[in-house]
């Protein structure tokens, strides 16, 4: 599914570039816009037309960043409960479709947005080689600035829209959100991973119109009273309390032996907690396990991907004309074939995030590696294509452009990049986000200039 959504994201990115600028740069090359009205507001680093006020992939980066923010889970958005997505009802089956969530965020959004094409366009403008302009260094710097700020704004707008819809479709959770904020102001720890009842009852959230039968919750009440003063942010025993409740109330297991002596010494009523868990099990309660539905299983995903790849291959071989429109569409289908490779490699490289130790343990080295690799491949393809000067034929120049747009465009990502920047801007280490931004933009720019000039 990640590969299928990567193809969709890459094709939409190409279509947006055509709509906002490609047809203006090369009139008649985009068939579906030939009789329409293209929006001449973007241009790549080689464009000479007036009016290209932003780089070609800015619209795609904005849309992808918005969708990425819209698809964030409850933990990222600070909701009172961990939810797969915020904008559907808490009880919706879609909440547990983790495979589709990953496919949309990593596959679709990651391939719809592109760091490499953005960086390459800025490098071409900086260098001024192969264009009708001299170096446009200051304009390129402005391109980095506007690209970064607008992507961040789109991501935050997506997060806010998701939160607004969450409050409209989850009324009870919206009230809990207010109660949770009030509890946190008092320094009370609220564990959003606990089941609904325990999550609200244990920190004694002020939930209007919710009544608890004392006889039913007597055992849990004993556990709450015995742990109440330790359920505060900064308490030395809070971590042990969290682990005990995770193991028992979330996983349905037994109290960890390593925490029993300390819990007993602090007077925690472990018997009451165990009795509560056992009573829930007798009533049919089972720990929550995320299971992907049948229609997102492997035996459906593989045929779907095969059909998509076959359609792209047919489009590539069927459209054999040499006119500008045919070449444009053949390159588009060709790029779609490379998109899954870039997206899958980026997904694998994301496993490197957090692999550094010590001071830099927070640094998303996997995402930076993917973006840097893609930037080098992209600018190398542009430089090689420039040297060929339209003398290589479609299968040479078309392959270079397909690798640049399809593989490198999907290997790099702006949507994931800006989400990581925002996540690293949280107090008290909010400067990490700025460091990550400057390192990413600076390193990719330097490597791009070096490869393009060489």
Can you give the pLDDT at residue 397?
85
Same domain, yes or no: 345 and 375: yes
Residues 241 and 330 in one domain: no
Residue 62 contacts residue 353 (beta carbons within 8 Å):
no
* pTM of this structure: 0.86
What pLDDT does residue 300 have? 76
Give Cα separations from 232 to 112, 239, 412 (angstroms): 43, 10, 42
User: Is residue 141 one of the residues assigned to a domain?
Assistant: yes
- State the CB neighbour count (10 A cutoff) for residue 285: 12
Q: Are 116 and 377 in contact, with CB atoms under 8 Å apart?
A: yes
How far is the C-alpha of 331 from the C-alpha of 407, rounded, in Å? 12
Rounded (5°) CA angle 313-317-323 = 130
- Please tell me which of 121-135, 305-319, 331-345 the model is most confident about, judged by mean pLDDT: 331-345
pLDDT in tens, 429-447: 889 999 999 999 999 999 9
Say whether both 17 and 105 belong to one domain. Answer: yes
Q: Residue 374: what pLDDT?
A: 97
Quote the domain boundaries for residue 229.
196-282
Pair (316, 338) in one structural domain: yes
Report DSSP letters for 166-188, one per residue: HHHH-HHHHHHHHHHHHHHHTTB
| Closest C-alpha among 416, 371, 331, 434 to residue 119 | 371
Give the residue-averaged pLDDT of 75-88. Answer: 91
Do both 306 and 206 map to the same domain?
no
287 occurs within a structural domain: no
Q: Rounded to an integer, what distance in angstroms lies between the CA atom of residue 413 and that of residue 370? A: 8
Per-residue pLDDT band at 29 (split at 50, 70, 90):
low
Query: Would you say residue 241 has pLDDT above 50?
Result: yes
Read off the pLDDT band of 160 (50, 70, 90).
very high
- If you ran DSSP here, which 8-state letter would residue 194 be given? S
Percent of the chain with pLDDT over 70: 85
Domain count, the chain: 2
What pLDDT score was predicted for residue 212?
A: 54
| pLDDT value at residue 41 | 57
Is residue 350 domain-shared with residue 447, that is, in the same domain?
yes
Domain stops at, among 258, 282, 306: 282
Residue that is last in its domain, among 282, 301, 334: 282
Q: Are residues 27 and 151 both part of a single domain?
A: yes
pLDDT at 44 over 60: no
Q: What tokens appear for 51 in the block?
A: 């009016």
Helices (H), 284-323: 298-318
Confidence band of 15 (pLDDT split at 50, 70, 90):
confident
Note the pLDDT of residue 49.
45
DSSP string, 68-129: HHHT--HHHHT-SS--S-SSS-TT-GGGG-HHHHHIIIIIIIHHHS-HHHHHHHHHHHHH-T
Angle between helices 298-318 and 324-349 (to 10 degrees): 150
The answer to the question of residue 110 being in a domain is: yes
Model confidence over 384-398: pLDDT tens digits?
Answer: 988 887 777 778 888
pLDDT above 60: residue 130 = no
| Co-location of 375 and 256 in the same domain | no
81 and 15: one domain? yes
Nearest CA to 202 out of 177, 180, 174, 175 is that of 180
176 found inside a domain:
no
> If pLDDT is split at 50, 70 and 90, which confidence band does 357 have?
confident
Rounded to the nearest integer, the mean pLDDT of the chain is 85
Q: Is residue 143 part of a domain?
A: yes
Please give the pLDDT value at position 297: 64
Q: What is the predicted pLDDT for the residue at 52?
A: 39
Is residue 182 included in any domain, yes or no?
Answer: no
Q: What local confidence, expressed as pLDDT, does residue 50 receive?
A: 41
- Structural domain contains residue 190: no
Residue 152 sits in the same domain as residue 225: no
368 and 447 together in one domain: yes
pLDDT digits (tens, 9 = 90+) for 93-110: 888 888 889 999 999 999
Q: Which carries the bigger pLDDT value, residue 303 or residue 243?
A: 243
In a domain, 129, yes or no: yes
pLDDT at 135 over 60: yes
Residue that is last in its domain, among 282, 316, 340: 282
In this structure, the answer to whether residues 244 and 339 fall within a common structural domain is: no
Q: Mean pLDDT, to the nearest integer, of 196-224?
A: 78
């Amino acid at each position: 599914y990640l590969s299928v959504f990567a193809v969709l994201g890459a094709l939409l990115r190409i279509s947006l570039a055509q709509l906002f600028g490609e047809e203006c740069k090369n009139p008649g090359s985009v068939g579906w816009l030939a009789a329409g009205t293209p929006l001449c507001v973007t241009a790549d680093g080689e464009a000479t037309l007036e009016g290209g006020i932003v780089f070609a992939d800015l619209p795609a980066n904005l849309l992808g960043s918005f969708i990425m923010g819209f698809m964030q889970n409850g933990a990222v958005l600070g909701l009172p409960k961990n939810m797969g997505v915020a904008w559907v009802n808490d009880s919706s089956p879609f909440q547990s479709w983790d495979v589709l969530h990953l496919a949309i965020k990593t596959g679709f959004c990651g391939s719809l947005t592109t760091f490499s094409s953005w960086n390459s366009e800025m490098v071409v403008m900086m260098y001024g080689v192969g264009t009708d302009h001299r170096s446009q260094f200051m304009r390129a710097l402005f391109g980095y600035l506007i690209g970064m700020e607008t992507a961040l704004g789109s991501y935050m707008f997506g997060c806010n829209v998701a939160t607004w819809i969450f409050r409209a479709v989850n009324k009870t959770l919206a009230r809990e959100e207010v109660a949770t904020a009030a509890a946190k102001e008092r320094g009370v720890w609220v564990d959003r991973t606990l089941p609904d009842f325990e999550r609200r009852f244990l920190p004694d959230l002020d939930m209007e119109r919710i009544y608890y039968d004392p006889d039913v919750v007597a055992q849990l009440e004993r556990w709450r009273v015995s742990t109440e003063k330790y359920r505060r942010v900064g308490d030395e025993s809070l971590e042990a309390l969290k682990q005990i409740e995770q193991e028992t109330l979330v996983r349905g297991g037994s109290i960890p032996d390593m925490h029993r002596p300390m819990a007993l010494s602090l007077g925690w009523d472990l018997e009451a907690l165990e009795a509560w868990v056992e009573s829930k099990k007798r009533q049919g309660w089972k720990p929550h396990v995320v299971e992907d539905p049948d229609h997102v299983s492997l035996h459906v995903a593989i045929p779907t991907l095969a059909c998509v790849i076959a359609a792209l291959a047919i489009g590539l071989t069927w459209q054999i004309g040499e006119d500008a429109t045919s070449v444009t569409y053949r390159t588009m289908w060709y790029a779609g074939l490379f998109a899954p490779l870039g997206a899958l490699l980026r997904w694998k490289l994301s496993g490197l995030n957090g692999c550094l130790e010590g001071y830099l343990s927070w640094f998303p080295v996997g995402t930076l590696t993917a973006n840097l690799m893609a930037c080098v491949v992209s600018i190398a393809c542009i430089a090689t294509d420039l040297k060929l000067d339209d003398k290589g034929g479609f299968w040479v120049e078309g392959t270079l452009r397909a690798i640049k747009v399809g593989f490198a465009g999907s290997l790099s990502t702006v949507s994931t990049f800006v989400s990581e920047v925002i996540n690293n801007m949280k107090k008290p280490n909010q400067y990490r986000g700025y460091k990550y931004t400057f390192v990413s933009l600076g390193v990719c720019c330097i490597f791009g200039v070096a490869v393009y000039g060489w």
